[in-house]
Structure 1
Amino acid sequence: MKNTPLNRRQSLAVLGSTLALPSAVWAQPGWKPTQTINYVIGVAAGGSVDLYARGIKSGLETLNLVNGQTVVADNKPGAGGLLALQQLQRSRGNAHNLGTFHTGSLAGQVTGILKADMREYVPVAMLVEETTLVAVRTDSPFKTAKDLLAALRRDPGSVKIAVAPLKGLNTHLAIAKPLKVAGIDITKLTVVPFRSSADSMSALLGGHVDVVSATGPTVVPMAQAGKVRIIASAAAERGTGPLAGVLTWREQGVAADYVSYNGVLLPPGVDAEQIRFWEQALRQVAASKDWIALVEKSGNKPMFKGYVDSHRYLQEELKATQALVADLGLDAK
């Protein structure tokens, strides 16, 4: 299954349409939070997953969507996200617990990095469509993706490529896919994993690696500050806002793209009323001006898919990622 990304007009139309729904649709369901909500974030602070989780936390509280309760952001990095998922698993049936849902987790399951089955959890919503970017220092000899490809064709191991938090996850797949399509032997690449994309960016700026593969929240601010140059986007089409001038891989002659999504998980065992509550609350966060501004600031696309579509995506993306990993030769560990 090829996951076709929404264009900007479609994304905002979906968000805007939610505001016109009759008030009865927003009637409080039977369940609502009665205690502090723990939002476990499966990565270290910094990077897109953490940024968006904290944006969701802020939206839930400032829009008064959680019955006056507090949402606690609880970073639990480690084992490719397993520690956070284990904590969510221990909260079975308790909808006062949220977790992060990201395409990278599905990639981790397929490659064997994440020792968990994402199908056991409840993907209640997806709120961001994000693209992965390739960035270099401004003094790098790589002015375009073609320059990078030329160097890798001469010697695939000569360029240090930073990804996070581990090899085999979305930031790795998003650069490995176009490189393989371009004829590079990706088994010989020098791929260096870092604990977070913020750490990988620090390594780039410090001269310890040559290239970073990361998403907009990590890369765009550094590009706007004149510290890095973005040489390729893995999006299927040219971006807008801060990415309006960034060429996609396709625009540079490489027929490949990679799109990932970011959202929210509930623990196993939650009931329909709990799912309904969180789906409606997160729909309102996704339609808020602050949320849209946060997502667009880094060149990503605000969007919303509820439980049914998110569950379908999880099932289909697992199959698609299995095919991609097999094609790239990244065997499960």
Structure 2
Amino acid sequence: MTPMHNPTRRQCLLAGASLLGGLPAMGQAATGWLPSQNINYVIGVAPGGSVDLYARGIKQALDSLKLVNGQTVIAENKPGAAGLLALQQLQRNRGNAHHLSTFHTGAVAGQASGMLKADLREFVPVAMLVEETTLFAVGADSPLKTAQDVLQALKRDPASLKLAVAPARGLNLHLALAKPLKLAGVDVAKLTVVPFRSSADSMAALLGGHVDLVAATGPTVVPLAQASKVRMLVSCAAQRGSGPLTEVPTWRELGIATDYASYNGVLLPGGVDAEQIRYWENALRQVSQSPEWRAMVEKSGNRPVFKGYVDSHRYLEAELNGSRALVASLGMGTP
């Protein structure tokens, strides 16, 4: 990507604080910038996983709630190069707030590990709407009945199980897989990690008996668990979830003092102005408050949240630093 100035964390937060002062409270009349053409929403992953699910849920809510000034949101999947292709499309439309993309923890982890050859700080994360947890799942007939069974097998022979992640090694699902295993005493450098194009593909491989365990988020795991096709062994959340996740223990409950959360939201091109950021932050706040949106997220086993521009910037900076430290501690780096 074309080199750009990379702001420091302090510059990001100062800019965020300045913009926050200009953001209207909910209920104020919309002023300033409004969409004047269709919105292009580029989804930087393949169809079938949670990032795609939530992006399309956001697109549907923006349309159904009539939040785009009479325009239409056109969603397009553009997977490849750990999300780089989607970011390049966003970069080609610098300053144009009619272009959106996905902002998610997987991309941050990709930058930290070197998988993603781009700097997310060149773009503008405007909102985060979903907090996700990673689940470890096995087939319904697997001899691995508990997370302790998995740990025992991997401590004896770290390469003995085929562990599926998507869409690549070095991204958030791989980090969520490796972090608790390393803390439990598994040699994570010797794991047999099998990457798939999407979590839907990794779950299909699990059902077909081609892998032993999948690390994936709720939307792809929960429906199959409810259909008794897979068994959820453990959650990477800090505490037990609600709904279908109430029966799934966390690593902390099992004596492994760690957790790993992922977030999904929306990214704008670099070069957008305060009025454009304000417009999208307010629109996405309304999406987050929609009963239909909240029901969809909760049904998938995850938690609806809303974190606006300032909090999203803070998260990007903090998560990037934290992921770099985690990658280094795991000895992973660029595959």
Deviations along 1:89-111, one digit per CA (max 9) or x if unpaired, are 10101100000000110110011
CA distance in 2, matches of 1:74, 1:331: 30
* AA matched with 1:127: L
> Unaligned 5+ residue runs, structure 2?
1-24
Corresponding residue number in structure 1 for 2:85 = 83
> Unaligned 5+ residue runs, structure 1?
1-20
Deviations along 1:121-162, one digit per CA (max 9) or x if unpaired, are 000000000000000001101111000001111110010000
Deviations along 1:53-97, one digit per CA (max 9) or x if unpaired, are 000001101001001111011100000000000001101011000
Corresponding residue number in structure 2 for 1:23 = 27
Deviations along 1:309-333, one digit per CA (max 9) or x if unpaired, are 1011101111111111111111235
State the secondary structure of the residue aligned to 1:252.
Answer: coil
State yes or no: 1:277 paired with 2:279.
yes
Give 1:160's match in structure 2, choosing from 159, 162, 182.
Answer: 162
Deviations along 1:174-213, one digit per CA (max 9) or x if unpaired, are 0100000000000000000000000000000001000000
CA distance in 2, matches of 1:22, 1:60: 16
Corresponding residue number in structure 2 for 1:61 = 63
RMSD: 0.8
Corresponding residue number in structure 2 for 1:235 = 237
Give 1:150's match in structure 2, choosing from 149, 152, 157.
Answer: 152
> Contact conserved, 2:170 with 2:333, CA < 8 A, in 1?
no
State the secondary structure of the residue aligned to 1:304.
Answer: strand
* AA matched with 1:23: G
State the secondary structure of the residue aligned to 2:253.
Answer: helix
Corresponding residue number in structure 1 for 2:188 = 186
State yes or no: 1:252 paired with 2:267.
no
CA distance in 2, matches of 1:168, 1:29: 42
Give 2:94's match in structure 1, choosing from 84, 92, 95.
Answer: 92
Identity over aligned pairs, percent: 72
Offset of 1:22 from its aligned partner?
5.9
Corresponding residue number in structure 1 for 2:179 = 177
Corresponding residue number in structure 1 for 2:333 = 331
State the secondary structure of the residue aligned to 1:101.
Answer: strand
> Contact conserved, 2:163 with 2:214, CA < 8 A, in 1?
yes
* AA matched with 1:229: R
CA distance in 1, matches of 2:26, 2:244: 35
Offset of 1:119 from its aligned partner?
0.4
> Contact conserved, 1:204 with 1:211, CA < 8 A, in 2?
yes
Offset of 1:29 from its aligned partner?
2.4
The alpha-carbon distance between structure 1 residues 291 and 154, as it changes in their structure 2 partners (threshold 3 A), is same
CA distance in 1, matches of 2:73, 2:304: 22
Give 2:118's match in structure 1, choosing from 116, 119, 122.
Answer: 116
* AA matched with 1:85: L
CA distance in 1, matches of 2:221, 2:255: 23
* AA matched with 2:294: I
> Contact conserved, 1:29 with 1:276, CA < 8 A, in 2?
no
TM-score normalised by structure 2 residue count: 0.92
Corresponding residue number in structure 2 for 1:15 = none
